């Protein structure tokens, strides 16, 4: 009975697909934005569908840009995302557990215009 209860608990907690993003301090967001703009700035201008007014719209825009590049499953496996906002820019990057192989995505978007300024993915 105890094993059945534990199995059910694991099953139900494993089925929860509502992700809560992790916050990023303004200062840390500024640092990441500066780094990404210096080393990973896109050569051609690319825009999200609309202005990014809040965290939810920024995450949706980032996913819309990243899914065709890296694949929906790859990006979704990097939940929960870390999201920060500083000086009108959104920075969003993925998460991998400690000692997991691979890297995570990083994207910087300008909130007012929805412009995608940089995209990177670790290996």
27-77 pLDDT, tens per residue? 888 888 888 888 777 777 777 777 899 999 999 999 999 999 999 999 999
Distance, in Å, from the CA atom of 118 to the CA atom of 37, rounded to the nearest integer, reads 6
Looking at residue 64, its pLDDT comes to 92
Question: Is the model's pTM score more than 0.75?
Answer: no
Residue 14: pLDDT over 60: no
Strands ordered across the beta sheet of 115-121: 22-23, 82-86, 89-93, 105-110, 115-121, 41-47
């Amino acid at each position: 009975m105890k094993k059945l209860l534990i199995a059910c608990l694991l099953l139900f907690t494993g089925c929860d697909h509502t992700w809560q993003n992790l916050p990023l301090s303004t200062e840390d967001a500024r640092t990441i934005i500066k780094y990404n703009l210096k080393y990973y700035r896109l050569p051609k201008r690319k825009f999200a569908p609309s202005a990014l007014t809040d965290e939810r719209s920024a995450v949706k825009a980032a996913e819309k840009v990243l899914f065709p590049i890296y694949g929906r499953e790859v990006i979704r496996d990097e939940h929960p995302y870390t999201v920060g906002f500083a000086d009108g820019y959104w920075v969003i990057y993925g998460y991998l557990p400690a000692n997991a192989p691979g890297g995570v995505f990083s994207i910087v978007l300008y909130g007012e215009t929805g412009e995608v300024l940089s995209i990177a993915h670790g290996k």
